[in-house]
Amino acid sequence: MSVRKAILSGAVNLGAGQAVVQLCSFVRSVILARLISPENFGIAATFAMTFSLLEMISNLSAQSLLVQAPDGDDPRFQATGHTLLVLRGILNAATLLLLAWPLSLLFGVPQARWAFYWLAVIPLARGFVHLDPNRFQRDMRFTPQVAVDTMSSLLVTVLAWPLAAWFRDYAAMLWLLLVQVVLSTIGSHIAAERRYTWAWDREYAGRFFSFGWPLLVNGLLMYGIFQGDRFLIASSRRVFPNSTYTLTDLGIYSVAFAVTMAPSQFFVNASSSLFLPVLARAQVAKEHFARRYLACAHLLSFSALVIAIPFIVAGRWIVPLVYGPKYLAAAPVVGWLGAMWGVRVFRAAPTLAAMSLGDTRNAMISNVVRTTALIGVIAVAAAGGSLASIGMCGCFGEVLATAVCIGRLSVKHRLSPSLVSRPLAVCGIGMAFAAFARTGAVSIIAGIGIALVLLCVCAAAMLFLSPELRHNVRTVLRPSEAATAAQEAAN
């Protein structure tokens, strides 16, 4: 199978799988938000903040190294990765048990202390995951991982309504998290071909740490990016005397965050699984690598617009329409969060290019810059500012981080920023026009119509400005003509 056909097949497979996963996540959040109060949704959000903290600051990205390393198919290499994951799971579980009591006090939810103790089961279960579904991605075999992710998501979504209707509080979120992690771990073993084994090789372990230590730092930075604003909202009343945020505000902001994050994670996760092996295969051929990097940038640029433009133009109607009128206060922040996630989706292109070249420090350095937005968030929280101001800080932080990511890729690996200048320009101009058009959207129907027109205009602009993109589109739509042309060129 040619690389282009492999990319197309993988894109369809991953796209379908991620669509199911993110749709299930979205449906679960809607079910919970409608059946429990905003305050209880805020308490449930503290579980995700607590669990994510330890997961992100202990992540050596064994799954990514297994794909990127030339000898990642070695059974002993994989077994050493299994050992590291188990040790990480045990350490994180023990840490959660120790932090359960002080964290429940910090968030002002002592009645939920028991739930924080139960959270320790999540990292412990994740530690025993089988890496075979990740190893298969080296050969562009995505079906096993897609099957594991989709089946666990579907089963947990089926349980969402009964559990939410039974508990009617934050306990429903806890049990859904536990069930999903256990099902994912079991599924990874069912999909595996090799026997699950542990091993310890000092050289391999050293490579895992060498590859992963920048990502450990990056994990802490990612926590600040994904959870820092909500962490400040949750704890601000016990830290800043002038803060007026409550758990209800946390629930409202979390809903706005979730509705904008779901489509973004779909594109980022699918593109990461698809383009990391594609780019890694061409890392020694600079010209081929540049073409694949440009294709990745085009795809993610338009994906960013698909996410950002509808939320910017019509976001004020989306949250109350989906989650109910009790979340009407989330409307002002949705546009800023949509723009923030759009920029982050585009940043995945240079980040993947750097990682495929073994440069994990790029993501770390970019996220150092991104976390400077927390300075603005702290100032807003201390002054008791609006939730929309917090979203605005995150958006500007993403813009700065993207500039640094592209700049380092140019300096470190001689990949000129001009490679992605056109898709980046279309992306930025499209979002700017969406912000301008927002004032003309007087209803949700008008907003959706304006958003669709802007997306069509942006797609046409990308095709007009990029001969490479036009060639790729023709190849997909008319594969027989492309094959004939390639044969004639070869003769």
> Quick one: which of 23, 22, 34 has its CA closest to 322?
34
Residues 152 and 271 in one domain: no
Please list the alpha-helical segments (H only) found in 36-131: 38-57, 62-68, 75-106, 113-118, 121-126
Residues 44 and 193 in one domain: yes
Residues 238 and 220 in one domain: no
Boundary of a domain, candidates 226, 259, 286: 226
pLDDT digits (tens, 9 = 90+) for 116-146: 899 889 889 988 999 888 888 777 777 888 8
Query: Mean pLDDT over residues 100-120, rounded?
Result: 85
Residues 41 and 137 in one domain: yes
Residues 164 and 255 in one domain: no
Q: Identify the band that residue 344 occupies on the pLDDT scale cut at 50, 70 and 90.
A: very high
Whole-number pLDDT of residue 161: 92
Boundary of a domain, candidates 161, 192, 226: 226
Q: 148: burial class by Cβ within 10 Å (0-12, 13-18, 19+)? A: buried
pLDDT digits (tens, 9 = 90+) for 357-390: 888 788 888 888 888 888 888 888 888 788 888 9
Query: Mean pLDDT over residues 418-431, rounded?
Result: 89
404 in a structural domain? yes
490 in a structural domain? no
State the total domains in the chain.
2
Whole-number pLDDT of residue 9: 63
Residues 294 and 266 in one domain: yes
pLDDT digits (tens, 9 = 90+) for 199-221: 998 888 888 887 777 767 767 77
486 in a structural domain? no
Residues 356 and 392 in one domain: yes
Residues 287 and 261 in one domain: yes
**What whole-number distance in Å separates Cα of residue 183 and Cα of residue 156?**
9
Residues 235 and 311 in one domain: yes
pLDDT digits (tens, 9 = 90+) for 222-276: 777 777 788 788 777 777 777 778 888 888 888 888 888 888 887 887 777 777 7
**Which DSSP helix (H) or strand (E) runs through 387?**
helix 387-413
How many residues appear in the chain?
Answer: 491
**What whole-number distance in Å separates Cα of residue 251 and Cα of residue 245?**
11
184 in a structural domain? yes
> Quick one: which of 82, 86, 85 has its CA closest to 198?
82
484 in a structural domain? no
Boundary of a domain, candidates 226, 257, 284: 226
Q: Identify the band that residue 405 occupies on the pLDDT scale cut at 50, 70 and 90.
A: very high
488 in a structural domain? no
2 in a structural domain? yes
96 in a structural domain? yes
**What whole-number distance in Å separates Cα of residue 384 and Cα of residue 242?**
6
Residues 244 and 210 in one domain: no
> Quick one: which of 438, 342, 340, 349 has its CA closest to 396?
340
pTM for this prediction = 0.72
Whole-number pLDDT of residue 159: 93
Residues 279 and 407 in one domain: yes
**What whole-number distance in Å separates Cα of residue 348 and Cα of residue 178?**
29
| Three-class SS state of 306 | helix
Domain extent at residue 436: 229-479
Whole-number pLDDT of residue 489: 43
Whole-number pLDDT of residue 481: 47
Residues 72 and 214 in one domain: yes
Which positions ≥6 away from 158 have C-beta within 8 Å?
none
Whole-number pLDDT of residue 7: 58
Structure token digits, residue 257: 């965050």
